[in-house]
Structure formats: structure tokens, C-alpha cells
Amino acid sequence: MMVQRYGSRFFAMPSNNIQRQLLYFQKNGLKLKIRHLLSAAVTAAAATHKNKTRLDAATMTHAPPTQWMDWFRKDWTDELLAQLGSSKIERWYRAVTRLLSLTALATPFVLLYPFAAYSTTIQNYHWQYALWGLEQAGPTFVKLVQWATTRHDLFSPEFCSYFGALRDETAGHSWQETVQQLPPSFLQHVALEKTPIGSGCIAQVYKGQLLHAVDKYPAGTPLAVKVQHPGILYKVCVDFYIMAKVAQWLEALPYLNLQYLSLVDTVTQFRDIMLPQLDLTLEAKHLQRFQHNFASNPKVSFPTPLMDYTTRQVLTETFVQGTPILEFTNETKYSEKVRQQVALLGLETTLKMIFLDDFLHGDLHPGNILVSWNEETQQPHLHLLDCGIVLEMGPEQHVNVVKILGAFTRQDGTKAGQLMVDTSSTRHQASDVDVQLFVQGIQQIVESDKGNNFVENVGDYIVDICYLACMHKVKLEPSFVSAALAVEIMEGIASALYPDLKVIPVALPLVLKAEVMHRLPKFHLW
């Protein structure tokens, strides 16, 4: 297969003469390599000149995460199956019942679809029903759509705009149901307003205050209390049981090579970061770990959990005030310098989570990022909320992702492609020729746009890389895709704040520091 460019996309095109493809790459390789080296030299010179302080700091030793000493990846299969029954018949019955319920929700949407193109009124009803139906379908599908609305490269502007409402507010539950979820003596220690200030797909949030002093917090301290929606654990478990079976079926289809997109692995990874959200004591521990990771950074903070008033269904934390980050896109209200500072801080924070901490906030949509302004330092302060979803790769996979993203950052597509093949935890079935074509295709993607770089256009390239992997039978690591998409989401927010922001000068120092941390060989700038 040969990679050719069509518009801004790349496709693996069939060819009857593989040797001719290899000769093509060899013939044009010198020209592409020269262009690559010149581009890299210019970029490196600019980065070194403008970011000398950051590059100097990158050479400082950074210790690997202390949590790696006890690192393990928990398998949530037992908890999931326990919710579905003890026998296969019982599980299949509940799965079929859930499928029938989802089918009933989807049927009106499908029936209205042909008529929506001919009537604005019907089209509006169509969108409204879709939004309502997704909320009724449950948190699993709401989370999927929330992710989809961040992928403007895959979905239409109408889709992203309309369903973007799910990132800010979803249907909640009643006050009576909230009281049933609270511990017996909770309201004797915490005063709650009966009207929630926000509702997500997992829980809804109330504003409250302490009635008695706790630790360093005096009576009257403002609190945010997150209360889980009742009955969602069962829905989520059934949904993931169904999704796993569908992924297995799709990967088993002959001739499509879908197993190389890691569908089953991706569902498993999504499950293992979704199910922990249903235990709010884990989110409290996430907050504590984030606070530890950013203890030396006065410009980034997280709410503080009050463990004495936190249970599996209730999370009590300090209340955070700030301005939603997208408010800073207002050019008439905020100066270019301020917008640049906010964009830079958000990008640095995300990249630090990926390259140095291996503990990444997995739900970095704009609604979970607040900004306050420090008048003394004239610097922005970032507050990150809703830390139920986190991505953690573990020591071995983190090293591999650092290597791969480091190679992309340096615009070395050949090395990045070969690393994706060599470091895959699952054995691929690619032939030597397929591997060579995959690697050449990755290099072609990196080199095709002179002024661009993978890290700055990751959303455009992920689809192309997945397509190459599918066509050439190379198994991609879900951790690489997840990390790359996290960069893409934050880069999109940063670009909305300050379109001229360059990612490479921010990413390169952290790549270097991560390579020093892992003692990787051939430490170099480019």
C-alpha cells in the first residue's frame, strides 16, 4: 500500500507493484530528508532563542512519579460482571433488555432523519429529541458524545455545536433522591442549597458550607458537594458489556483488519477509566495526587477533598471560583498578552501531566477549566475541576509514549513509526514490507506540511495514522492515541485563546526532561 496525499488527508492506496513504491520512497527520500533537516534546524534555532530558560530547565533531573513504586492497572471486569448476574444467561438477558431500551430510544431519531432535511421545524425537533434521548441513554453515551464534540475534524460544526451543551449541563435528579444518597449525619455538618449549581452525566453539584470547623477549614467555608445520580452503576456496566461484545464481533470480521485499531483494548481502557468515576472516593484520591504533582506550581490548583464527608456516592470538596477559560477568547475584554498567558499555562499543564507525571486529567473540556487572575503577580491561575477520569499508562508504556511523541515533536516520522511497531504490547501481523510502508507513511505525514508539526496538528493526523495502521496490520497502543488526543483537545482550547501560539517551544523542554527522567539514550535537542 502507498500513502498519498488528498487535500489535508492521507490515504493508503492499493498498488500492484510494492517494489515500485519502495523505489519511489528511496528516490525521493534525499529531497525530503534535506527539507526535513532545514525545517528542523530553523525551528530548533527559534525555539532555543525564544525559550532558553525553558530548555535550560529541561536538563534538570526530574524524579519519576512516586506512585509507580506501587503501580498496577486494576481490572474492573469482576465489578462489572457482578452487576450483571452470576450466569451467562442472566447477563445476556440484561444485555438484550438494555439493547431493546436503547433501540426504542433511537427509533424516533432514525424515523425523523429523512424528513429533517426538508423542514426546519422537523430538524429542530430532531436535534432536540437526539439531545433528550442521549441523556436518557445514560452516562456512557453522554461521555462518548462529549468526547465527539471536541473532535471538530471528525464531526460537523452543527453536531459539535448542538451536542456541546452536554459538556456544560445534563439532566439531573430530585432533591429527595439527593437526600437518600447522603450519609445519615451529613446535613448536620454541611449546609446545602437545595438547587444544584450544575449537573453532569455522573453526578450533580450543590453549593454548601461547613457548619463546624474541619482541620484547617473554619465554619462557613464554601464547599462544592457532588452527589452521584442514583442507579447509574447498573446502566454503565451493561453498556460496557454490550460494547465489549460488539468490539469483539467487529474485530473478528474477515478482510476488514479492524483488530489493528485496538477496538477491544480501547473499550477496555474506556471502561477502566469510566467505572472508577462511580466511586467518588477515588476522585478524591485523584485530587490529592494532582495537588501533590503541582505542589511546586503556584499557578495551577485543584479543589481539596474533605475525606471525612466523602463516600462512594458523595464527594465534598472546597468550592472554587473562577472564570470559564473560553471567556478569555473575548478579544475586547482581554488583551493579547493575557490570552497568550492563559493559553500557554493550559498547554504547559497538560503536557506536564503527560510527559512528567503520567497522570492526565481525562476530561479536559473547557467547562472543567476555570481561570482567576492574580493581581500581585499579574499572572493567570488555572483551576481544574471534575477529576473523575484520569489516564495513567504505567512505567513501561509511559517510556514508550515519551519516545514516540518525542520523535514526532522532533519531526522524525521514521523513528516514530518504527517505535509504534516495536513498542506495541500486542503482537502485530504485519509483514516486513507492511512495516516498511507503515513507517514510510508516517514519515510522509510528518514531512508533507512544511510549516507544521505533529504536536500542532495531532487531530488531523490521528485518523491518518489509524488508517495506515489498519491497512498495514500494525497494532496501535491505546495509550498513545489517548495521550495524542489529550494534546489535541488542549491545543484546540489554546488556539482559540491565542491562534499564534506555537506548541513546539512549549513541548520540547518537557520532552527533554522526560527523556532525562527515563535516562533514554541519545538525548539531544533535534
pLDDT in tens, the chain (526 residues): 444 433 333 334 444 444 444 444 344 444 444 344 334 433 444 444 444 444 444 445 678 887 777 777 677 777 788 878 778 888 888 889 999 999 999 999 899 888 887 888 888 888 889 888 888 888 888 877 876 776 555 567 777 777 877 766 677 889 999 999 999 899 999 999 999 998 888 889 999 999 999 888 999 999 999 999 988 888 888 998 888 888 888 888 877 666 666 678 778 877 887 888 888 999 999 999 999 999 999 999 999 999 999 999 999 999 999 998 888 888 888 898 999 999 999 989 988 998 899 998 887 778 789 999 888 888 999 999 988 888 888 888 888 888 887 888 777 888 888 888 887 766 556 788 888 898 998 888 887 765 665 555 665 667 678 778 778 877 777 677 777 767 777 777 887 888 887 777 888 888 888 888 888 865 444 4
What's the CA gap between 183 and 196, in Å, rounded? 18
What's the CA gap between 261 and 337, in Å, rounded? 42
Residues 207 and 215 sit within 8 Å (Cβ to Cβ): no
Strands in 197-309 per DSSP E: 198-199, 203-210, 222-228, 300-301
Burial-class residue 156 by CB neighbours within 10 Å (0-12, 13-18, 19+): exposed
Residues 437 and 2 sit within 8 Å (Cβ to Cβ): yes
SS3 call for 64:
coil
User: What residue type is 333 in one-letter code?
Assistant: K
> What are all long-range contacts of 410-414, with beta carbons under 8 Å and residues at least 24 apart?
410/40, 410/526, 411/36, 411/39, 411/40, 411/43, 411/446, 411/447, 411/453, 411/454, 412/446, 413/439, 413/442, 413/443, 413/444, 413/445, 413/446, 413/447, 413/454, 414/439, 414/440, 414/442, 414/443
pLDDT the model gives residue 487: 73
Where does 155-279 have alpha helices with state H? 157-163, 175-181, 232-252, 263-274
As a whole number of Å, the end-to-end CA separation of the chain is 30
How do the residues of the chain divide into helix, strand and coil, expressed in percent and rounded to 5? 60, 10, 30
pLDDT the model gives residue 517: 87
Concatenated DSSP letters of 7-31: TTEEEEE--S-HHHHHHHHHHHHHH
- Nearest CA to 454 out of 500, 504, 498 is that of 504
Q: How far is CA 380 from CA 3, 322, 328, 345, 376, in A?
A: 44, 11, 11, 8, 11
pLDDT the model gives residue 425: 61
What's the CA gap between 149 and 363, in Å, rounded? 12
Burial code (b: 16+ CB inside 10 Å, e: under 16) for 108-141 equals ebeebeeebeeeeeebeebbeebbebbbebbbbb
Domain boundaries, the chain: 77-167
pTM comes to 0.74
- 207 phi and psi angles, rounded to 5 deg: -95, 135
Chain centroid, CA 522 distance in Å: 30
Take residue 20 and report the three cell numbers written for it. 515500485
Residues 64 and 395 sit within 8 Å (Cβ to Cβ): yes
Residues 203 and 226 sit within 8 Å (Cβ to Cβ): yes
pLDDT the model gives residue 9: 38
What's the CA gap between 80 and 237, in Å, rounded? 5
CB atoms within 10 A of CB 65: 20
